[in-house]
Amino acid sequence: MSLPSPNGLLEKLRNGKRSRSWPLRVAGIVGFLVTVFLLVSYNPGMRIALRPHSASHERPLHNVTKPLPYRHALESHIAHLEEIQRWQPPPGMRVIGLVFYGRRRFVTILNCYLQRNLVENGGIIEEYIFVVRTEDEEDLAYLEELLVANPKYSAHRSAGSGFDYSQMWSAVEAGNVYVKIDDDVVRIRASEATLVYAADIYELYIEDSTIRSIVKRKVEHPEYIVVSANLVVQFALTWLHYHLGALHPYLPELTHRKSYTPTTSWRSSELPYWDGPADFNMTSFEAPDHHRWLPLAPGGVVDLEKTPIADVKYGVGGISWEEWTVGAQQHYSFLENLEKDELWRYGFEMWDFHYDRLSINLIAIMGDDVIAMGPMPRDDEELITQIYSKQTGRHVVADGYGVAVHHGYWLMSEHDGKKGMETTDVLDRYRAYAQENICKS
């Protein structure tokens, strides 16, 4: 039996030729139109690149197709990034980077991003001040090389050491804008107001829009005491990134390699699938030096809920602060998202921490506010994000469009006598990406 066409049904309705079954027919028409709409509007292959990468995928990446609900988020994210790239600081406002210097192995990566964000290279930072926090002769020699090679770099020696950050802010002046990150800070200066943007030497990746984005929000919203970047491997944001769908199932490689040559590739698509047992126990894993983390095969016996990230909770501390495995999984997930041009997965408009403690790894803050806080205690983070914030009623927020990557916390390097993040090849992968995409430009 043939069914009448939708046009025929509509014609009968218009002519008043209704039968007792007309409600069912109308429902059929509605269902037909909804089906057609879904088929026409849904395009699983839709993909908009944020930056070109000529990657030849040797295997399919996780979540290659973007679910329909993400389409608006992706388009909104790209439109916002284009708006940010056009933004310039108000006339008379100088943006200065304040870099807390301590370890050359991180700065060899970070330096390319610092250069990229100078005004002369299309950025908004006019100069960098390196706050020296090391006595290592090789670290100091490398810093001297940077100062000689870059007229926009200068050094300021800090009296603080270890976990004493009381002298970190001694270079701050009123009327300037600064940026700060644990052990590394980028500082921004303005003639009438002070803004600080901090980048720790532990920063391994800074998206082109990040510095502009956090500075823009801080300038336009002085009611916030601090504007943080949207940091990957940041204890207060790890839970959020997990629930935004930015993290993927990875586990450590179980085969020990007899020799190691630093990798020249950062692409996750070139990694083999993890082939460990279904009853693998992360707590008994002894991490060898320079080991990789490998993606789990889709539909395998182990999924995301059985990887370290699945136990993360929202709040201060916890495994997102002390477990290196959680940090490693975030790094490899980020590199996968970076290769697929899917950093929009981390995106949100703004996250208000209210008076919760925030790790100030990459922030924008006004120099006038730093001076108003009085003498800085050893724990500058607590004073800025909790004590002074509550005293003034001004919140600490994260800018969801300013993506950057933080290497990890000190507990992730070594905990309970066991080596952690340092045993992975994460640094080599970020260095490979920077040399291929950032340093050359």
Quick one: pLDDT at residue 168? 73
**CB–CB of 404/208 below 8 Å?**
no
Cβ neighbours of residue 281 closer than 8 Å, sequence gap 6 or more: none
Taking the C-alpha atoms of residue 114 and residue 110, their distance in angstroms, rounded to an integer, is: 6
Higher per-residue confidence, 104 vs 348? 348
Most confident of 159-173, 184-198, 300-314, 395-409: 395-409
pLDDT digit string (tens) for 270-288?
A: 999 999 988 898 888 888 8
Cα end-to-end span (Å), the chain: 67
Place of tokens 């295997």: 59
Does this model's pTM top 0.95? My answer is no
What is the DSSP secondary-structure string of 50-80? Answer: SS------SSPPTT-SPPTTHHHHHHHHHHH
Higher per-residue confidence, 380 vs 294? 294
pLDDT digit string (tens) for 188-205?
A: 222 233 344 444 445 678
Taking the C-alpha atoms of residue 418 and residue 411, their distance in angstroms, rounded to an integer, is: 10
Cα→Cα distances 47→70, 335, 400, Å:
11, 18, 21
Give the least confident one: 10-19, 114-123, 268-277.
Answer: 10-19
Which two three-digit tokens encode residue 250?
A: 């990875």
**CB–CB of 359/235 below 8 Å?**
yes
Quick one: pLDDT at residue 2? 43
